[in-house]
């Protein structure tokens, strides 16, 4: 079973693009994937993804499975991944032109 993981914006340098190969019948939840990535990548990733006080994924981090938001509500982090899933991890994104919002 193959799962692709891509990091975007500031996560691009930490995560890049990875492929995870799982054994036949092995199950991995989205939360467990993030824990594995933390162990593999190190503290820089873990500190950006997990709140140190609660151990939960930070509210501002967006994680998508196959283009669908899966971070909120938090119980979606229990989603088990399937062969061919693509995980995208985004930092907080804000922006827009102040002129565009002016009336």
Spans of all domains in the chain: 2-94
Q: What is the pLDDT of residues 75-92, one digit of tens each?
A: 778 889 999 999 999 987
* pTM listed for this prediction: 0.81
**Predicted pLDDT at 85:** 94
Place of tokens 């009336």: 103
* Domain 2-94 part of CATH 1.10.3720.10: no
- The CA distance from 45 to 43, in Å, is 5
Q: Which stretches of the chain score pLDDT less than 50?
A: 103
Q: Checking DSSP bridges between strand 86-90 and strand 68-69, what pairing results, if any?
A: unpaired
> Residue 12 has which token pair?
């691009």
**Predicted pLDDT at 73:** 59
Q: What is the DSSP letter of 71?
A: S
């Amino acid at each position: 079973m193959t799962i692709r993981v891509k990091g975007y914006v500031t996560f691009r340098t930490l995560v890049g693009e990875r492929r995870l190969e799982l054994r036949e019948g092995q199950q991995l939840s989205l939360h467990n994937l993030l824990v594995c990535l933390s162990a593999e990548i190190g503290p820089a990733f873990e500190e950006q993804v997990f709140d140190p006080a609660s151990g939960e994924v930070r509210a501002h981090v967006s994680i998508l499975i196959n283009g669908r938001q899966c971070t909120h509500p938090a119980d979606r982090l229990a989603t088990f991944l399937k062969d061919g899933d693509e995980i995208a991890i985004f930092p907080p994104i804000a922006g827009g032109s102040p002129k565009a919002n002016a009336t």
